[in-house]
């Protein structure tokens, strides 16, 4: 047994276990399907193969082809039919195989999924989860390493979240499935194989729309989500050797944003660096910087700085180490906040 999770005769695992993020989300999906017969999993290769990253491994075997649906190869069709299933009372969890492939489905997500509740004056519920493995760092070909989150945070009617570790992966996917609103669920694919303890029977310690201080500090606030949380934690460890105390916040929920948590931290530290993989221009960091400027203006010792991707298409993988923010680029930005 590689996961460390104990499994009962019914196939249900329980207790504390050390799991990869892949396995943790898999367990979360399994629990959700056990608890609610209306939960469906659908997407390309999610059945027999168990997903290209194996996130849905074994689910079709245990829940059948009617609940774990291998779909035709057409992303708009996946989301469009999920909307219809939700209208009939089901709770579909769709997998978009890779970030760059969400664009054929963007029409259904943006023009239909996000807006249907408002159009019906609240008569309709659309509890659809769209899982998207996102971000770079795995040496993939083009369209397999992108960070399309702001397309969705810019769309009213959607909730957008990103997990960064196995425990959150397990709890957040269950919370997303229970949510009555459509949720775009980003999974950091280069952290899929990170391991950490997960208590499978515990209740989640945070609501889905709250962020978390993952490392307290006093000098600078680092804001990150998804794959960049680990990078920022590594930067904080390195900065400590230079005598600097960095506070790292995992935003977890991008829409809505846990503004209170961010504002409280930045007012305390007086400095802030935002880190994400997506291009900086018009990016999520721009929203954070503007919001922090509005609410923390008299507490700031330096402007909010942003570290992220360039305004280019995602580069060939031999160049991605230059494109993706790493520990040194984060520390460089931290240095610059002290130059003011």
Partner 1 sequence: MAVNTNAPVGAETYGAAAPPELVQLLTPEGERVEHPDYDIDLTPEQVRSLYRDLVLVRRIDLEAVALQRQGELGIWASLLGQEAAQIGSGRALSDQDMVFPTYREHGVAWCRNVDPIKLLGLFRGVSHGGWDPAEHNFHLYTIVIGSQTLHAVGYAMGIQRDGAEAAAIVYFGDGATSQGDVNESFIWAAVNNAPVVFFCQNNQWAISEPLEKQSRIPLYRRASGFGFPGIRVDGNDVFACLAVTREALRNAREGQGPTLIEAYTYRMGAHTTSDDPTRYRVESELEAWKLKDPIERVKAYLFKNELADQEFFEAIDLEADELGKDLRRRCLELPDPDPLAIFENVYAEPHALLQEEREQFAAYLASFEGVA
Q: Which residues bind partner 1 (CB under 8 A)?
A: 66, 71-72, 74, 76-77, 79-90, 104, 107-108, 111-112, 115-125, 156-157, 159, 179-181, 209, 255-259
Please identify, using beta-carbon distances, which residue of 108 and 164 lies nearer to partner 1: 108
Q: What share of the chain is helix, strand, coil (3-state, %, to 5)?
A: 40, 20, 40
Give residue for tokens 């935003």. 251
144 carries an active-site annotation: yes
CB of 63 to partner 1, least distance (A): 12
The CA distance from 232 to 276, in Å, is: 10
Strand 159-162, strand 253-255: pairing: antiparallel
CB of 256 to partner 1, least distance (A): 4
Please identify, using beta-carbon distances, which residue of 206 and 238 lies nearer to partner 1: 206
Tokens (6 digits) for 85: 């299933």
Please identify, using beta-carbon distances, which residue of 179 and 305 lies nearer to partner 1: 179
The CA distance from 76 to 267, in Å, is: 43
Please identify, using beta-carbon distances, which residue of 78 and 222 lies nearer to partner 1: 78
The CA distance from 4 to 322, in Å, is: 36
CB of 157 to partner 1, least distance (A): 5
Which 3-state string (H, E, C) describes 263-305?
HHHHHHHCCEEEEEEEECCCCHHHHHHHHHHHHHHHHCCCCCE
The CA distance from 200 to 171, in Å, is: 8
Q: Count CB-CB contacts under 10 A for residue 324.
A: 22
CB of 279 to partner 1, least distance (A): 22
The CA distance from 291 to 287, in Å, is: 6
Please identify, using beta-carbon distances, which residue of 40 and 304 lies nearer to partner 1: 40
CB of 115 to partner 1, least distance (A): 7
Catalytic residue among 143, 144, 171, 299: 144
The CA distance from 313 to 319, in Å, is: 12
**What is the CA 201 to chain-centroid distance, rounded?**
22
Please identify, using beta-carbon distances, which residue of 17 and 126 lies nearer to partner 1: 126
Q: Which residue, among 1, 19, 11, 2, has the nearest Cα to 167 in the 3D structure?
A: 19
CB of 125 to partner 1, least distance (A): 6
Q: Which residues have a catalytic role annotated?
A: 144
């Amino acid at each position: 047994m590689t996961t460390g999770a104990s499994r009962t005769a019914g196939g249900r695992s329980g207790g504390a276990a050390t799991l990869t993020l892949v396995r943790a989300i898999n367990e979360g999906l399994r629990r959700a399907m056990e608890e609610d017969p209306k939960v469906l999993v659908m997407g390309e290769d999610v059945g027999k193969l168990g997903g290209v990253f194996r996130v849905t491994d074994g689910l079709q075997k245990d829940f059948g082809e009617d609940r774990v649906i291998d779909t035709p190869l057409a992303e708009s069709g996946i989301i469009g039919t999920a909307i219809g299933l939700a209208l009939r009372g089901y709770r579909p969890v769709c997998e978009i195989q890779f970030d760059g492939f969400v664009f054929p489905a963007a029409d259904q997500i943006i023009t239909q999924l996000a807006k249907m509740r408002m159009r019906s004056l609240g008569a309709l519920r659309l509890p659809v989860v769209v899982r998207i493995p996102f971000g770079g760092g795995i040496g993939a070909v083009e369209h397999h390493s992108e960070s399309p989150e702001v397309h969705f945070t810019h769309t009213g009617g959607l909730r957008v979240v990103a997990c960064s570790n196995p425990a959150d992966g397990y709890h957040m996917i269950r919370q997303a499935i229970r949510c009555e609103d459509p949720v775009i669920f980003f999974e950091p694919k280069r952290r899929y194989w990170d391991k950490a303890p997960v208590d499978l029977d515990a209740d989640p310690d945070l609501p889905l729309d709250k962020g978390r201080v993952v490392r307290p500090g006093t000098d600078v606030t680092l804001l990150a989500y998804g794959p960049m949380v680990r990078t920022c934690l590594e930067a904080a460890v390195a900065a400590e050797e230079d005598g600097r105390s960095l506070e790292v916040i995992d935003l977890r929920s991008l829409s809505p944003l846990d503004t209170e948590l961010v504002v409280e931290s930045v007012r305390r530290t007086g400095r802030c660096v935002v880190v994400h993989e997506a291009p900086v221009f018009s990016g999520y960091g721009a929203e954070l910087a503007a919001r922090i400027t509005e609410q923390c203006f008299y507490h700031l010792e330096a402007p909010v700085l942003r570290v992220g991707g360039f305004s280019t298409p995602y580069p060939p993988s031999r160049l991605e180490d230059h494109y993706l923010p790493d520990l040194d680029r984060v520390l460089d930005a931290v240095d610059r906040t002290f130059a003011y």
